[in-house]
Amino acid sequence: MREYAGRLSPVRCSPSMTRHTRGWLLGFALLGLMASASSGYIHYKILRDPTYTPICDVNQTLSCETAYTSRYGTIRGVPIAVGGVIWFAFVTILLLGARPVAPQADARHAEGLGANVSAYLFLLSTIALGAVLFLAYVSFFVLKTVCVFCLLTYVAVIGVYVLSGKASDAPLSSIPRRVLGDLRTLVTSPLALVVALLFVVGSVAAIALFPRDTGAAAPTAAAATPSPPASDQQVEFERWFSSQARESLAVPSDGAKVVVVKFNDFQCPACADSYFKDKDVLAKYLSSYPRDVKFVLVDYPLAPECNPSVTSVVHPAACAGAVAVRLARMQGKEIEMQEWLYSHQPGLTRDAVRQAAQTIAGVRNFDQEYARQLALVRQDAEMGGRLKIDGTPTFFINGVRVPGALRADYLDAAIMHELRRAGVAIP
CA 182/CA 50 separation, integer angstroms = 47
Give the confidence band of 226 by pLDDT, cuts at 50, 70, 90: very low
* pLDDT, tens digit (0-9, with 9 covering 90-100), for 292-322: 999 999 999 999 999 999 999 999 999 999 9
Per the model's pLDDT, the better-predicted residue between 84 and 144 turns out to be 84
Q: Is residue 3 predicted with pLDDT exceeding 50? A: no
Q: Is 75 helix (H, G, I), strand (E, B) or coil?
A: strand
My answer on whether omega of the bond before 50 falls inside 30° of 0, hence cis, is no
Question: Which residues touch 48 (CB under 8 Å, ≥6 apart)?
Answer: 211, 236
* pLDDT, tens digit (0-9, with 9 covering 90-100), for 41-86: 998 887 777 667 788 877 667 888 778 877 788 888 889 999 999 9
Contact 298, 263 (CB under 8 A): yes
For the chain, count helices (H), then strands (E): 16, 6
Contact 326, 353 (CB under 8 A): no
Residues written for the chain: 427
CA 344/CA 325 separation, integer angstroms = 14
CATH of 231-421 among 3.40.30.10, 3.60.10.10, 2.70.98.60, 3.40.50.10490: 3.40.30.10
Question: Which residues touch 403 (CB under 8 Å, ≥6 apart)?
Answer: 51, 390, 391, 394
Cα separation values, 351 from 73, 306, 367, Å: 41, 17, 10
CA 244/CA 417 separation, integer angstroms = 14
The pLDDT, as a whole number, for residue 150 is: 93
Could you tell me the residue ranges of all domains in the chain?
Answer: 2-209, 231-421
CA 322/CA 230 separation, integer angstroms = 37
Is residue 13 packed enough to be buried (19+ CB in 10 Å), middle (13-18) or exposed (0-12)?
Answer: exposed
Contacts by 105-113, CB closer than 8 A, 24 or more apart: 105/10, 105/15, 105/16, 106/10, 107/10, 107/11, 107/12, 107/15, 109/16, 110/12, 110/15, 110/16, 111/178, 112/16, 113/182, 113/185
DSSP state of 73: S
CA 424/CA 427 separation, integer angstroms = 10
Contact 266, 322 (CB under 8 A): yes
Q: Is residue 231 predicted with pLDDT exceeding 60? A: no
Per the model's pLDDT, the better-predicted residue between 177 and 27 turns out to be 27
Contact 199, 89 (CB under 8 A): yes
The pLDDT, as a whole number, for residue 308 is: 95
Give the confidence band of 328 by pLDDT, cuts at 50, 70, 90: very high
| Summary mean pLDDT of the chain | 83
* pLDDT, tens digit (0-9, with 9 covering 90-100), for 361-418: 999 999 999 999 999 999 999 999 999 998 899 999 999 998 887 788 889 999 999 9
Question: Which residues touch 12 (CB under 8 Å, ≥6 apart)?
Answer: 107, 110, 169
CATH architecture of 2-209: Up-down Bundle (1.20)
pTM for this entry = 0.63
CA 22/CA 160 separation, integer angstroms = 10
Percentage with pLDDT > 70 across the chain: 84
* pLDDT, tens digit (0-9, with 9 covering 90-100), for 180-215: 777 777 778 788 888 888 989 999 998 888 876 544
The pLDDT, as a whole number, for residue 321 is: 97
CA 381/CA 390 separation, integer angstroms = 11
The pLDDT, as a whole number, for residue 64 is: 84
Cα separation values, 272 from 57, 60, 134, 352, 409, Å: 11, 7, 28, 18, 17
CA 272/CA 343 separation, integer angstroms = 8
- 10-19, 326-335, 380-389: segment of lowest average pLDDT: 10-19
